[in-house]
Amino acid sequence: MNRLNTPLVTQETIRAMEDMSFFTHAMIFDDLLIVSQRETSCFVLWTTDGLIIIDAIWPSKQAFDAIVNAIRDAGWGGCPVRKLLLTHGHVDHTGCGRWLADRYHLKTYLSETDDIFWQEHPAKPDRPETWKDYGIDYYIQDKDTVTLGNKTIYVCGTPGHTPGCLSYLFPVTEDSQPHMAALWGGATPPWTREGVGQYLKSLDYFMEAARAKKADVALSNHTSIDNGLERIAYTRKRMSYMPNIYIIGQDGFRRYCQVFRTLGSEMLQRME
Ligand SMILES: [Zn+2]
């Protein structure tokens, strides 16, 4: 059977990142919620001391409403939302953080490098409504940890996609059994040869960190990378005897990372 080893990313993919007419969400672990529009996803991690949101989709009220609704639907409406962690300083991840900060008075986290990058190099330079529109409370970097209640998130510096891109490893449970989730922060390689080299080096680094933490769960903040919408649809209708489709094992996680290696080498070929 013919299986893809690279995602299909087209001009339509880029346009669809701004389509705020469709959202979906699913509880993918006991303590982890995913919220997606057509192309971009964010996560909400439950802890004993409140919720942590990771990435924030797009700067729109609809994205904010979708995240709030998903939290309520998960039964977590009474939980304080304490933190917003960003993977990197692109508008499709910094997203609706301004609304989240206003509503929840949460603390925001990003690398200092990408906070400056977000300010000085907006992804859509001709559109002020997409520029940096809220502050970062805590700068985080490689080897930092962010702890709330019973959860600790491990921070990996994985520059390449952006200069200060971060990836995260954190524990989740499935039917109370522990697993370790890995979220590669910057999906696609940048458009320079040097940048692709850095991206691939970061990938090796993150794979080693994931191996050390025995990561067996692959998460993506872009649905085109991991059949994201199909995995959500499956999870929403998953019956009790069916496997959790996000748990792919440590070998599975290594194979998943091959997608990023392929993207990197394709980019280098395109530049030749
Ligand atoms: Zn990005």
Is 155 inside any structural domain?
yes
Strands 81-85 and 107-110: parallel
Helices (H), the chain: 11-16, 61-73, 91-94, 97-104, 112-120, 193-212, 228-237, 249-271
pLDDT above 90 coverage of the chain, percent: 91
36: enclosing H helix or E strand: strand 32-36
Q: How many domains does the chain have?
A: 1
Phi-psi region of 105 (alpha: psi -120 to 50; beta: other; left: phi over 0): left
221: CA distance to ligand 1 center in Å? 9
CATH number of the CATH domain containing 164: 3.60.15.10
- In three-state secondary structure terms, 16 is helix
Average model confidence (pLDDT) across the chain: 96
Distance CA 131, CA 110 (A): 16
30: CA distance to ligand 1 center in Å? 28
Structure confidence by residue, pLDDT tens digits, 190-223: 999 999 999 999 999 999 999 999 999 999 999 9
Which domain range does residue 206 map to? 11-271
Is 1 inside any structural domain?
no
241: CA distance to ligand 1 center in Å? 36
For residue 59, give every residue at least 6 positions away whose Cβ sits within 8 Å of its Cβ, in sequence order, or none. 91, 94, 95, 96, 97, 98, 129, 130, 133
The model carries a pTM of 0.96
**Which amino acid is located at 66 in the chain?**
A
Structure confidence by residue, pLDDT tens digits, 107-166: 999 999 999 999 999 988 999 989 999 999 999 999 999 999 999 999 999 999 999 999
234: CA distance to ligand 1 center in Å? 26
Over 80: is that where the pLDDT of 1 sits?
Answer: no
Distance CA 41, CA 56 (A): 8
Structure confidence by residue, pLDDT tens digits, 43-72: 999 999 999 999 999 999 999 999 999 999
Is 16 inside any structural domain?
yes
**Which amino acid is located at 247 in the chain?**
I
51: CA distance to ligand 1 center in Å? 24
48: CA distance to ligand 1 center in Å? 30
8 Å CB contact between 219 and 43: yes
Mean pLDDT, residues 38-45? 97
Q: Which residues have CB less than 5 Å away from ligand 1 (the ion)?
A: 90
Is 101 inside any structural domain?
yes
Is 2 inside any structural domain?
no
54 token code pair: 């990771």
Is 3 inside any structural domain?
no
Angle between helices 193-212 and 249-271 (to 10 degrees): 170
- In three-state secondary structure terms, 86 is coil
End-to-end alpha carbon distance in the chain: 31
222: CA distance to ligand 1 center in Å? 9
Structure confidence by residue, pLDDT tens digits, 240-271: 999 999 999 999 999 999 999 999 999 999 88
Is 66 inside any structural domain?
yes
